[in-house]
Amino acid sequence: MSGYVYDFGDGNKDLKDLLGGKGANLAEMTRMGLPVPPGFIISTEACRAYLRSGAMPAGLLSEVEEHLQALEAGLGKRFGDQKDPLLLSVRSGAAFSMPGMMETILDIGLNDRSVTGLAQQSGDERFAWDSYRRLIQMFGRTVFDIPAEAFGSEPGDEPRDLVETYKKVFETQTGQVFPQAPHEQLFLAIGAVFRSWNAERAVLYRRRERIPQDLGTAVNVMAMVFGNRGDDSGTGVAFTRDPATGRRGSYGDYLRNAQGEDVVAGIRNTMSLGELADVDSVSYAQLLSIMERLEQRYRDLCDIEFTIEHGKLWMLQTRVGKRTPAAAFVIAAQLVEEGAITLDEALRRVTGEQLAQLMFPSFDESAAPEPLTTGVPASPGAAVGALVFDSAAAAAADGPVILVRRETNPDDLPGMIAAQGVLTARGGKTSHAAVVARGMGKTCVCGAEEIRIGPDSFTVGDRTVRAGEVISIDGANGRVYPGPVPVHASEVVRYFEGEASAYGDPLLSAIERLMTHADHVARLGVHANADTGADAARARRFGATGVGLCRTEHMFLGDRRVLVERLILAGTEAERDDALAALLPLQRADFEQLLTAMDGLPVTIRLIDPPLHEFLPPLAELTARVARAEALGEDAGHAGVLLNAVRRMHESNPMLGLRGVRLGLVIPGLFAMQVRAVAQAAAARVAAGGDPRPEIMVPLVGTVQELEIVRAEAESVLASVPGAPPIRIGTMIEVPRAALTAGQIAAAADFFSFGTNDLTQMTWGFSRDDVEGAFFGRYLELGVFASSPFETLDRDGVGELVRIAVERGRAARPGLTAGVCGEHGGDPASVRFFHDAGLDYVSCSPFRVPVARLEAGRAAVAAGTTGSDSR
């Protein structure tokens, strides 16, 4: 059967793949008996066939013809009739809404003759010619790509004159007359919708969003209704709840005597939905009852497009509406309260990304001056910094800067990385600046078109702001402020900190309710990466149930650096032992604090990882110091000694050099000192009545032999500390070889923790510091990456190694604990993967803990294992 075309009466809302989102929802409303103008849907299958062969698939046009005849019969009007023509709209509609696709064409079927018929039949000359004018313009723009500017219109022009002008524009631009045959108009429009699937912008958008390129779009063909037929007509949009705050109640705008996108275009002043009640109480009441039915049907916030023609209400579109992050939480909790959805379903309706956005600091609006201008909010955050106009200046600056460019390109990457935020004068949400900033989690406002950029200043109107002056940009709403605007912590963060009560606050109580459920259903635990007692305490307030990574090298910084220097420079065993003995009590005290803050919960302590020369002054600095001394004829002294050490220890690829477990095997006593400090700290906590649960983790292991040697030494140290509780010893899996030989390594490891940062670097064969600035922006732009593999785990490559290691590790040692301590542990998309890969916990920065908790719950719901998904 061919079956490319479906009447609105034949579909339903669950057929989005076949009918597109718009079509499936029009069909649903038709089935519900709502007043939808009649029409039909050409399926995505037809589009795929068209794109494959480059021609209308066999039988499609005759099928369209059949459905059109049925439409005519039902309405008692003919398409192409000269006296009383049936007019159509042709609307694209894919399964996912997508920028760059062809828009809608209204009033198809009008021509030089039927326009007079329409004028007579409607008794409204102006309306008829205005409709024809719109058709020529929309058709020219969308089917023939005539630039919008070509149709310059004078507001006062008579529609009839405009039609003449537009027809001439059409002829000059296309070299042909405006098609007069209604069927030709219709078929050309359908073909144009099909082809727009492959418009450059649409292709790029799909590549970045990882939407398959072969889905195709549906085409909706429907009878026109007219909101531009006088004051008893009009068009509007409405929401069944407030999409900004989630508050119950209907919201919307209505514009009298108007058609289509006039509301959005803001041509005239719109009235609020409430005011519609005053001008047309019957339609208003009907609309409210329809909105209630739609909410019940979709069990969610719906947005609606409607038109009133001579007092008769028509529904033109509905869909589950977009909303702010705050509204998403509030609405999900409300729907649970109303008995419309389960708590599991509520978790499906919010995302970790939304929670993360709610945790960003924001500007204190009450202390903010008038904005200089407003651009496109492209990547959220509140950034304050001194103005710089090029990448070099941004990279060289000491303090925080905002990089301002007309638009950005790959050369600007180092500057974008260095800056707090990025502001551009050109480009929208899919411009280079916007895409790269979002990929890096950096604040960005783009397309601030009022800005005129000079070499070292910009102007807005008559105001000039120079390089070095401070500005503030708000990536959530696009505002650009002069001077520094005070930034305040998010209310949601204050709530997690225990500083704000959820009581009586709709957003905070919604978050509380959903987080409680997430914790209840989650299988994946959430630990935090924390190096100090203070960090660990904060993580615990944010809901972490352990420390998954304590980086001990952070305890070697500041004034302790000299002790490490002594260790590195030690010429004899005695000198080395002295240096280690001096470090021991310091480490022990740090561990005690950490174990106190996480009393009763696991604390995974990683032995020292980075190359030791990172603790010495940089080569350039030492060279300069020695050169200065020599120039003065002085002895370079200590600087000379250090310089020699740095030269001796120089590595071409430090990331792949002497670090991690390799250090432990090369420098006698280093790991033993750390292990002793852990054991002594734990013993002290036990003596104080605490419940310390430290674990020792060995970094950068590539083969089981390394781990066996370290383990043997560690065990003998642990045994020598009286009063220490049992302490597990495990390893990081961050070298591909470790993942592949996980079966062997598991024999010597009580647990695994995936260091996904290093594992990503080594799997891809690139060092993060070198590649992020060099080409990641270009890769994001080209869609090679949807997001940086350092932000979101690369499932196919790195993820495969994780799966292999878990499987082989657990085959060798059933019940082996496995976690993740790379930054991916706090990334929503990656958390889902770790759940599916069967890990026991993720560990992330304290600040990301709530996000990971929410996503851990969502992952369990998505996997369908919660057993709580009933109402």
Rounded CA-CA distance 143/804 in Å is: 51
The minimum distance between CB 100 and Mg ion, in angstroms, equals 16
Cβ contact 221:42 at 8 Å: yes
The minimum distance between CB 317 and ligand ADP, in angstroms, equals 5
Q: Is 432 a catalytic residue?
A: yes
The minimum distance between CB 213 and ligand ADP, in angstroms, equals 21
Stretch that binds ligand ADP, among 101-109, 605-613, 651-659, 750-758 (CB under 6 A): 101-109
Residue list 724-763, contact with ligand ADP (CB under 6 A): none
Stretch that binds ligand ADP, among 120-128, 223-231, 461-469, 704-712 (CB under 6 A): 223-231
Please tell me which residue in 302, 444, 821, 844 is annotated as part of the active site. Answer: 821
Residue list 279-308, contact with ligand ADP (CB under 6 A): 305, 307
Residue list 24-53, contact with ligand ADP (CB under 6 A): 37
Q: Candidates 590, 734, 823, 827: give the one binding Mg ion (CB under 5 A).
A: 734
Listed in sequence order, the DSSP H helices in 700-815 are: 704-720, 736-740, 742-745, 756-764, 768-771, 777-782, 800-812
- Residue 717 vs residues 665, 668, 674, 710: alpha-carbon distances, Å: 15, 13, 10, 11
User: Which of Mg ion, ligand ADP, none lies near 225, with the C-beta cut-off 5 to 8 A by kind?
Assistant: ligand ADP
* Packed helices 352-359 and 325-337: angle between N→C axes, nearest 10 degrees: 120
What single-letter amino acid sits at 792?
T
Q: Candidates 81, 103, 158, 599: give the one binding ligand ADP (CB under 6 A).
A: 103
- Which residue, 226 or 671, has its beta carbon nearer to ligand ADP? 226
- Which residue, 20 or 822, has its beta carbon nearer to ligand ADP? 20
Listed in sequence order, the DSSP H helices in 721-755 are: 736-740, 742-745
Q: Phi/psi at 305 (nearest 5 deg)? A: -115, 130
Please tell me which residue in 67, 432, 613, 835 is annotated as part of the active site. Answer: 432
Residue 753 within binding range of Mg ion, rule CB under 5 A: no
Rounded CA-CA distance 699/330 in Å is: 43
| Sign of the four-CA dihedral 573, 574, 579, 580 | positive
User: Which of Mg ion, ligand ADP, none lies near 103, with the C-beta cut-off 5 to 8 A by kind?
Assistant: ligand ADP
Stretch that binds ligand ADP, among 159-167, 208-216, 219-227, 351-359 (CB under 6 A): 219-227
| Neighbour-count burial for 559-594, b at 16+ CB within 10 Å, e otherwise | ebeebbbbbbbbeeeeebeebbebbeeebbbbbbeb
Residue 755 within binding range of Mg ion, rule CB under 5 A: yes
- Which residue, 136 or 383, has its beta carbon nearer to ligand ADP? 136
The site string for Mg ion over 426-455 (x = CB under 5 A, - otherwise) reads: ------------------------------
The minimum distance between CB 180 and Mg ion, in angstroms, equals 28
Residue 222 within binding range of ligand ADP, rule CB under 6 A: yes
Angle of CA points 234, 238, 244, to nearest 5°: 140
Rounded CA-CA distance 359/508 in Å is: 12
Rounded CA-CA distance 528/845 in Å is: 5
Q: Phi/psi at 434 (nearest 5 deg)? A: -65, -45
The minimum distance between CB 291 and ligand ADP, in angstroms, equals 16
The minimum distance between CB 613 and Mg ion, in angstroms, equals 17
| Sign of the four-CA dihedral 838, 844, 849, 852 | negative
Residue 798 within binding range of ligand ADP, rule CB under 6 A: no
Q: Candidates 80, 182, 216, 260: give the one binding ligand ADP (CB under 6 A).
A: 260
User: Which of ligand ADP, Mg ion, none lies near 443, with the C-beta cut-off 5 to 8 A by kind?
Assistant: none
- For the sheet with 5-7, list strands across it: 5-7, 39-42, 218-223, 88-93, 105-108
Cβ contact 520:514 at 8 Å: no
The minimum distance between CB 449 and Mg ion, in angstroms, equals 25
The minimum distance between CB 557 and Mg ion, in angstroms, equals 18
SS3 272: strand
User: Which of Mg ion, ligand ADP, none lies near 734, with the C-beta cut-off 5 to 8 A by kind?
Assistant: Mg ion
Cβ contact 809:740 at 8 Å: no
Stretch that binds Mg ion, among 47-55, 129-137, 305-313, 484-492 (CB under 5 A): 305-313
User: Which of ligand ADP, Mg ion, none lies near 91, with the C-beta cut-off 5 to 8 A by kind?
Assistant: ligand ADP
- Which residue, 319 or 808, has its beta carbon nearer to ligand ADP? 319
The minimum distance between CB 261 and ligand ADP, in angstroms, equals 5
Rounded CA-CA distance 318/238 in Å is: 9
Q: How many residues lie near Mg ion (CB under 5 A)? A: 5
User: Which of ligand ADP, Mg ion, none lies near 260, with the C-beta cut-off 5 to 8 A by kind?
Assistant: ligand ADP
- Which residue, 119 or 258, has its beta carbon nearer to ligand ADP? 258
Residue 317 within binding range of ligand ADP, rule CB under 6 A: yes
Strands (E), 23-74: 39-42
CA atoms within 13 A on the CB side of 581: 7
End-to-end CA separation in angstroms for the chain: 41
**Which among 63, 7, 30, 430 is positioned nearest to 221, based on CA atoms?**
7
The minimum distance between CB 223 and ligand ADP, in angstroms, equals 6
Q: Phi/psi at 416 (nearest 5 deg)? A: -65, -35
Residue 354 within binding range of ligand ADP, rule CB under 6 A: no
Q: Candidates 26, 225, 480, 536: give the one binding ligand ADP (CB under 6 A).
A: 225
- Which residue, 263 or 679, has its beta carbon nearer to ligand ADP? 263
Residue 253 within binding range of Mg ion, rule CB under 5 A: no
- Close Cβ partners of 306 (under 8 Å, ≥ 6 residues apart): 235, 236, 237, 238, 287, 313, 314, 315, 316
SS3 844: strand
The site string for ligand ADP over 667-696 (x = CB under 6 A, - otherwise) reads: ------------------------------
User: Which of Mg ion, ligand ADP, none lies near 535, with the C-beta cut-off 5 to 8 A by kind?
Assistant: none
Q: Candidates 89, 111, 472, 787: give the one binding ligand ADP (CB under 6 A).
A: 89
User: Which of ligand ADP, Mg ion, none lies near 660, with the C-beta cut-off 5 to 8 A by kind?
Assistant: none
Q: Candidates 270, 317, 379, 674: give the one binding Mg ion (CB under 5 A).
A: 317
Q: Which two tokens stand for residue 619?
A: 């080569």
Residue 758 within binding range of Mg ion, rule CB under 5 A: yes
- Residue 417 vs residues 380, 402, 742: alpha-carbon distances, Å: 16, 11, 36
Q: How would you classify the pairing of strands 547-551 and 525-529? A: parallel
User: Which of ligand ADP, Mg ion, none lies near 37, with the C-beta cut-off 5 to 8 A by kind?
Assistant: ligand ADP
Q: Is 821 a catalytic residue?
A: yes
Rounded CA-CA distance 116/128 in Å is: 7
Q: Phi/psi at 286 (nearest 5 deg)? A: -65, -40
- Which residue, 220 or 760, has its beta carbon nearer to ligand ADP? 220
Cβ contact 449:425 at 8 Å: yes
Residue 234 within binding range of Mg ion, rule CB under 5 A: no
Full 3-state SS string of 465-506:
EECCCEEEEECCCCEEEECCCCEECCHHHHHHCCCCCCCCCH
- Per the listing, tokens 């809302």 go with 13
Residue 553 within binding range of Mg ion, rule CB under 5 A: no
Q: Candidates 106, 276, 524, 667: give the one binding ligand ADP (CB under 6 A).
A: 106
Q: How many residues lie near ligand ADP (CB under 6 A)? A: 17
User: Which of ligand ADP, Mg ion, none lies near 142, with the C-beta cut-off 5 to 8 A by kind?
Assistant: none
Q: Phi/psi at 413 (nearest 5 deg)? A: -55, -50
Which residues are marked as active site? 432, 821
Binding site for Mg ion (CB under 5 A): 305, 317, 734, 755, 758
Where along the sequence are the contacts to ligand ADP (CB under 6 A)? 37, 89, 91, 103-104, 106, 222-225, 235, 260-261, 305, 307, 316-317
